[in-house]
């Protein structure tokens, strides 16, 4: 079957499955028709909507700030994660992801403490301005394009295709909510109030010009794994009918998208294109196993995408 929709996707069973699913749930008279208000789609961000290697984009943002802090204060240089940032110890940082998906969050908590300390006492407006500038001006270390140009063209096209068929798209990411908000509408066509992500504690500081919301030196929650369905429900109040992810951190979100009374589509992006992007499965092993046993649709970058960026 040749389809006009999703032109950045190769013709084949995966593209056919996506297009056919949208047609089924959006066509009046179809036995699988779903009311527009129930057409909710949720997307992980890192590794699903934009590139996450050699490190997540937000981590680069944080590490630059930690290195600046260590440069200004030598006493931080022997403490993690300032030490790793100052010494550009990417091996320590890479181990954190591996350890996290193996169930050991010791170093995740260490990194998390540094992340919240890096931007503590900034107003939300200051943080947003810094994040927006970084994303628009900083170039990916190997792809040689700005970070805003590291979003995946096929996923942008899918988001637009869903919008055109009455879907409401949300981001549900382990990345920082306030890091993604400045660019979510510009890049993804997803308004800032539909961004669900990890957050730090916030506090209101009174002032003569209406006061300010100030970032605190403590985490609020990490939107990953089993926390994702909770945060989706808290924000939306609905179970999505379509979800897309790429790692074990998305497993529960993809599980949560199953319905008893209506069809659902679960997409798992497989990074198997070392020539155009990166090739890796670390941190996605359980999700790939679940995809095989639960009928999820695995999207191969190499085989299913005509272009990547």
Report the relative pairing of strands 168-176 and 40-43 from DSSP bridges.
parallel
| Contact of 118 with 82, CB cutoff 8 Å | no
Structure tokens at 88: 């550009």
The pLDDT score that the predictor gives to residue 1 is: 47
Instruction: Please tell me whether the peptide bond between 81 and the residue prior to it is cis, using omega within 30 degrees of 0.
Output: yes
| Contact of 35 with 166, CB cutoff 8 Å | no
pLDDT digits (tens, 9 = 90+) for 127-186: 999 999 999 999 999 998 999 999 999 999 999 999 999 999 999 999 999 999 999 999
**pLDDT above 90 (res 5):** no
The pLDDT score that the predictor gives to residue 3 is: 57
The pLDDT score that the predictor gives to residue 148 is: 95
In Å, the largest CA–CA distance within the chain is 68
Burial class (CB in 10 A: 0-12, 13-18, 19+), 270: buried
Structure tokens at 166: 């009455």
The pLDDT score that the predictor gives to residue 202 is: 97
Please, what are the domains in the chain? 13-51+146-203+210-304 (3.40.50.1000), 57-119 (no CATH)
Q: Quick check: pTM over 0.85?
A: yes
Report the relative pairing of strands 195-205 and 212-221 from DSSP bridges.
antiparallel
The pLDDT score that the predictor gives to residue 242 is: 98
pLDDT-derived band at 93, boundaries 50, 70, 90: confident
List residues bridging with 75 in a β-sheet.
none
Instruction: Provide the 3-class DSSP secondary structure of residue 151.
Output: strand
pLDDT digits (tens, 9 = 90+) for 202-257: 999 999 999 999 999 999 999 999 999 999 999 999 999 999 999 999 999 999 99
Give the whole-angstrom CA distance, residue 303 versus residue 308: 11
């Amino acid at each position: 079957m040749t389809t006009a929709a999703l032109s950045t996707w190769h013709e084949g069973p995966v593209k056919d499955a996506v297009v056919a699913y949208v047609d089924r749930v959006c066509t009046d008279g179809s036995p699988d028709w779903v009311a527009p208000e129930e057409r909710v789609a949720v997307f992980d961000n890192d590794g699903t909507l934009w590139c996450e290697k050699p490190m997540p984009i937000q981590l680069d943002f944080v590490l630059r700030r930690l290195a600046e802090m260590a440069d200004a204060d030598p006493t931080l240089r022997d403490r993690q994660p300032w030490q790793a940032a100052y010494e550009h110890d990417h091996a320590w940082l890479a181990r954190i992801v591996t350890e996290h998906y193996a169930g050991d969050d010791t170093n995740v908590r260490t990194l998390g403490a540094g992340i919240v300390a890096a931007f503590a006492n900034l107003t939300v407006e200051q943080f947003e301005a810094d994040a927006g500038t970084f994303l628009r001006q900083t170039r990916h270390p190997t792809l040689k394009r700005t970070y805003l140009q590291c979003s995946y063209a096929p996923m942008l096209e899918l988001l637009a295709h869903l919008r055109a068929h009455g879907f409401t798209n949300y981001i549900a990411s382990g990345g920082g909510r306030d890091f993604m908000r400045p660019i979510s509408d510009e890049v993804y066509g997803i308004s800032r109030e539909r961004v669900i992500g990890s957050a730090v504690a916030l506090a209101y500081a009174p002032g003569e010009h209406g006061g300010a919301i100030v970032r605190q030196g403590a985490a609020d929650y990490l939107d990953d794994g089993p926390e994702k369905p909770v945060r989706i429900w808290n924000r939306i109040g609905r179970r999505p009918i379509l979800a897309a992810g790429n790692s074990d951190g998305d497993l529960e979100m993809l599980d949560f998208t199953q319905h008893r009374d209506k069809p659902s589509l679960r997409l798992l992006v497989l990074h198997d294109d070392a020539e155009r992007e990166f090739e890796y499965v670390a941190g996605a092993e359980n999700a790939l196993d679940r995809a095989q046993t639960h009928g999820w649709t695995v999207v191969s970058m190499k085989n299913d995408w005509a272009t990547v960026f």
